Structure 1
Amino acid sequence: MIRLSKSLNAWGTPDFKDILKEEIEQMGAEQLPLQQGLSSSSYALDDKLQVRIIGISEGADFIHAKLGIFYTGIIAGCNCADDPTPVEEQNEYCEVQLDIDKMTGETTVALLPE
């Protein structure tokens, strides 16, 4: 489970959005559904994440954030010596819903349909 403690501590301050973006951009593909969000490649890379906050709302127990994530992926070939396929990064984008528990900072991430 992901824990966004810094974002939770910043909730209600002007810095919340910046801190949330920073925490998400530091995560890897194993914590975010980047692989499932691929549309033009076959393997998600997580070294160039850029997060855009689409919307934030508050419920009784959770902070809900809808985010757009820009990242890159590659089309993985066979890596054979005679494979002519160049390994080029492809731009990717997906949208996710974060639900941040207001007591613990534990966060669930769900890939949103296009």
Structure 2
Amino acid sequence: MIVPKLRHAWGGPDFKTMLKQELEKLGVDELPLQQGLTSGSHALDDDIEVMIFNVSESEGVILARAGIFYKSMIAGCSCADDPTPVDEVTEYCEVTIEIDENSAAMVITLLPAQP
């Protein structure tokens, strides 16, 4: 994913806010939400909230660490006699974000869950 707007905002006072907004626009296709599930069986695009913990720069790469709150669904088998209700659960995962300063390419990587 290419994010020239973020590359140009780097170093400015609004960078963290812009990064948060850009990440919250993404969904399960771009964020590793399905891989970060701990309770549900299917990650949802609804109500994604991002907290930016820190940002830094190293050798031409903008680095950030963020926490993502999102919802997942616990789904049954949809059989007529299935007692399992369809329910939403709040999930949380942490990611690293790398933005190449030359190409503006952004890579988002899921961090291992903390015990």
TM-score band by shorter chain is over 0.9
Superposition deviation, residue 90 in structure 1: 0.2
The structure carrying a bigger strand percent of its residues is 1
Q: How does 1:41-52 map to 2 (within 5 A)?
A: 41-52=40-51
Consecutive aligned runs of 4 or more in structure 1 exceeding 6 Å deviation? none
TM-score of the two chains, using structure 1 as the length reference:
0.94
Q: How does 1:98-113 map to 2 (within 5 A)?
A: 98-113=97-112
- In 2, Cα distance between equivalents of 1:67 and 1:105: 18
User: What per-residue deviation string (whole Å, max 9, x for no partner) do you get for residues 58-104 of structure 1?
Assistant: 01210000010000001121112322211111000000011100112
Identity percentage of aligned residues: 52
Equivalent residue pairs, number: 113
- In 1, Cα distance between equivalents of 2:51 and 2:63: 14
**Matched letter for residue 17 of structure 1:** K
User: What per-residue deviation string (whole Å, max 9, x for no partner) do you get for residues 16-58 of structure 1?
Assistant: 0111001000001011100000001110001110000111110
- In 2, Cα distance between equivalents of 1:68 and 1:7: 18
1:20 maps to 2:27: no
TM-score of the two chains, using structure 2 as the length reference:
0.93
**Structure 1: segments with no counterpart, 5+ residues:** none
Secondary structure at the counterpart of residue 7 of structure 1: helix
Secondary structure at the counterpart of residue 45 of structure 2: strand
- In 1, Cα distance between equivalents of 2:65 and 2:93: 11
Aligned residue number for residue 32 of structure 1? 31
**Structure 2: segments with no counterpart, 5+ residues:** none
